[in-house]
Amino acid sequence: MSRRKHQRAANTDGELDMTPMIDIVFQLIIFFIVTIKMEETANPDIELEEARSGPTFKGENPLTMTIEVDRRGWISINNCQLTPQRLHGIIQNRFNHYGTFPVMIRADKKTRHADVRKVMDICTSVGLWRIDFAAIKEYANE
């Protein structure tokens, strides 16, 4: 008992233990870093074609893979340039993990059809058939 009384007396000198507060601050930082939704920025080099018809995009399926093809024919996902072989490997791995999933192709309006067709062929070779194309609809009817 005398040991307990001695320990209590040592902590009553008015000092504040900062360790729990620092732990909580670090936990909050980790929480906000993990839960923040990182905004996906589209490639600014891609200028989409105007669409006069077709369905309006209502909301994104979380499994949708967006593949971009710029006017030079370069393929990218999240602004990371890929070779056709690397794109095939990524799509194949995702198909093996999730099964079929939708694909959104964002192609520049000056992109050659052969470059877009290359991406479409890669998708169909894996077994994907839900392929959509991004276009701007809101200004097309003006």
Would you write out the chain's pLDDT as a tens digit for each of its 142 residues?
555 555 555 555 677 888 888 999 989 888 887 777 555 556 666 666 666 665 566 666 778 888 999 888 899 988 888 999 999 999 999 999 888 888 989 888 888 999 999 999 999 999 988 888 877 766 544 4
Looking at the structure, do residues 109 and 125 belong to the same domain, yes or no?
yes
Beta bridge partners of 106: 68
Looking at the structure, do residues 67 and 127 belong to the same domain, yes or no?
yes
Number of compact structural domains in the chain: 2
pLDDT of residue 140: 44
Residue 9 DSSP class: H
**CATH value at residue 101:** 3.30.420.270
Looking at the structure, do residues 28 and 45 belong to the same domain, yes or no?
no
Looking at the structure, do residues 22 and 56 belong to the same domain, yes or no?
no
Looking at the structure, do residues 59 and 122 belong to the same domain, yes or no?
yes
Reading the block at residue 128, the tokens are 């994907």
Residue ranges making up the domain that contains 76: 41-142
Looking at the structure, do residues 107 and 45 belong to the same domain, yes or no?
yes
Distances in Å between the Cα of 71 and the Cα atoms of 66, 75, 84, 104, 114 are 16, 10, 16, 17, 11
Q: Using CA atoms, how far apart are residues 134 and 25, in angstroms rounded to an integer?
A: 42
Instruction: Extract the runs of DSSP E, i.e. beta strands, from the chain.
Output: 65-69, 75-77, 80-82, 103-107, 131-133
Q: Which of 93, 43, 41 is nearest to 69 (CA)?
A: 43
Gyration radius from the chain CA atoms: 26
- Sequence-distant (≥ 6) Cβ neighbours of residue 117 within 8 angstroms: none
Looking at the structure, do residues 84 and 126 belong to the same domain, yes or no?
yes
Report the SS3 class of residue 80: strand
Contact 92, 126 (CB under 8 A): yes
